[in-house]
Every structure is written in structure tokens, then in C-alpha cells.
Amino acid sequence: MLDYDFMRTAFAASGVVALVAGAVGYFLVLRGQTFAGHALAHVGFTGATGAVLLGAAPLWGLVVATLAAGIGMGAAGERLAQRDVAIGLVLALALGLGLLFLHFYTAFATQATALLFGNVLAVDSETLRTLLALGAVSLAALAVIARPLLFASLQPELAEARGVSPRLYGVAFLALVALATAGCAQIVGVLLVFALMVGPAATAQRLTGGVGSGVALSAALALAEAWLGLALAYYTDWPTSFWITALSAAVYLFAHIRVGA
């Protein structure tokens, strides 16, 4: 399986994306902002289709659109970032616009499927380099802000009194979520970003009550699910995104049954 170039690229790409998604996703779930993450992915769809229309790489459209939306949502305040109706409307509008952009583009069906459901086997070496760079930047940024971010997430009023601005870290964090989302969209597609961003994190929080152990477990689970999904896809010839979502859901369910008992 690893004799093939495209498989090695796929393993590397999904590996780095999964690590970022697992770590960032831990804080996303902790902060109760999973729906905001979902909406960012949809905005990414608009960005990607817009980029395709302009003849640019979809990944850059994804990055630019999610970053802009993430920072905008963060600046609008914690409250908006958790407000379902506003987010839901943005989400629907974003998908609709993306559809319009695709309408003007000729190779409609393949592009749409790849963006919506991912196509990790089609990642080329240039995209891989971009993903590696984005991943390194995201993880480094998270490592720098993790401590005040955790404080502001757990105790916003106390953090504010201690001179930590929950607003500032809210914006910085959603920018990170935007980068992680753009990466995930390359692997599992915008519709299935939950599988890597939320599934492993929610499972980890179910299994451990520690912060350090939670982040580590979340990243490890995401990595394992992504790689195992890729291997299963190779042997079954079923889509990778299906296997990753199936593993993510199964592991979450298993953790629930085990701990819930």
C-alpha cells in the first residue's frame, strides 16, 4: 500500500490534518462551539468554489474564506459564536453561494463531490506542502495561546479580571479553527469536518477528565481514525471519507456505552 506515491502523500496529509483537528477540536468541544466550527466549514465551501471559479487552488479559497469568517464570528462576540439561528443562516447562505459559483463552473459534479465529501487520494505534493505548513503554524499558535485560552474557556469572568481578554482569545481561537477546518475539508470534505474535529475530541472528553491527557488522546484518536480509514479505503475501495466518519462515530459510541454503564 505504501509503495504508491499517492498513498504516501495521503497518509502524510491526513496525518498532519488529523493531529491539528484533534488538538483544536478538543478546545472547540470544551467551549461548546462545535456548531460554529460546522458553519466555518460551509463558508469554506463558498471560498473553495469561488477560488475554482477564479482559477486559483481551492485550498487557498478555503483558507481565506474560513479565516475571514472565523475572525468575523469571533469579533462579533462569544455570544454570536454560540447562537444557533445566526450561524445556521450563515451556513445555509454559504452553501447556496457555493452552489451558485459551481453553477458557473463547467466540471460541476466532480468538483462539488470532492469539496463536499473530500478526496484525500487526489492530494498532490504541492497541496501536501501547504497542508504541512498550515499544520505546523496551527499547532505552534495553539501551543502559544493554549494556557490563556483554557483559562478564558473555563472561567471567562475570572480570566477577564486577571487581565486575559476572553474576546481576544475567542477571535484567535476561531482563526485557528478556521485553519484546521480548511485542512480537514481537504481530507474528508466540508460536510464531514465533524468527523475529525468533533468526534475524537468528544470521545476523549468522555474518556478522561484531564486537560493534557484529553488533548493528547483527542489528537491520537483523530490520527488513528484517519489512518485506519485510509487503509480500509485502500483494501475495500470504498471512499476514505466514509471510513473515517464511520470510525469516528463508532469510537464515540463505544466510549459512550463503556463509560455510560
Partner 1 sequence: MSAIILRDVRLALGGRVVLDRVSLDIPAGAFVGVLGPNGAGKTTLLRAVLGLVPPRQGTLRVLGQPPSRGNAAIGYMPQARGLLATLPLRGWDFVAGAVNGHRLGLPVLGKLERAEVDRVLDLVGAGALARRPLTDLSGGERQRLLLAQALIGRPRLLLLDEPLISLDPHHQHGVVDLVKSVQRELGVTVLFSAHELNPLLGALDLVLYLGGGQAALGTVEEVITGPVLSRLYGAPIDVVRLGGRIFVMSGGHDMEHDAHRHDVAEAGHDHA
Q: What is the contact surface with partner 1 in residues (CB under 8 A)?
A: 29-30, 32, 143-148, 150-152, 154-155, 157-164, 205-206, 209-212, 214
* Closest approach of partner 1 to the CB of residue 203, in Å: 11
Alpha-carbon span 38 to 98, nearest angstrom = 15
* Closest approach of partner 1 to the CB of residue 130, in Å: 26
Judged by beta carbon, residue 99 or residue 146, the one nearer partner 1 is 146
DSSP 148-209: HHHHHHH-HHHHHHTT--HHHHHHHHHHHHHHHHHHHHHHH-GGGHHHHHTHHHHHHHHH--
Q: Which residue has 470510525 as its cell numbers?
A: 247
SS3 (DSSP) at 239: coil
Alpha-carbon span 229 to 225, nearest angstrom = 6
* Closest approach of partner 1 to the CB of residue 80, in Å: 17
Judged by beta carbon, residue 64 or residue 171, the one nearer partner 1 is 171
Judged by beta carbon, residue 175 or residue 187, the one nearer partner 1 is 175
Judged by beta carbon, residue 55 or residue 212, the one nearer partner 1 is 212
* Closest approach of partner 1 to the CB of residue 247, in Å: 21
* Closest approach of partner 1 to the CB of residue 103, in Å: 43
Judged by beta carbon, residue 107 or residue 154, the one nearer partner 1 is 154
Count of alpha carbons within 13 Å of 222, Cβ hemisphere only?
35
Alpha-carbon span 216 to 202, nearest angstrom = 13
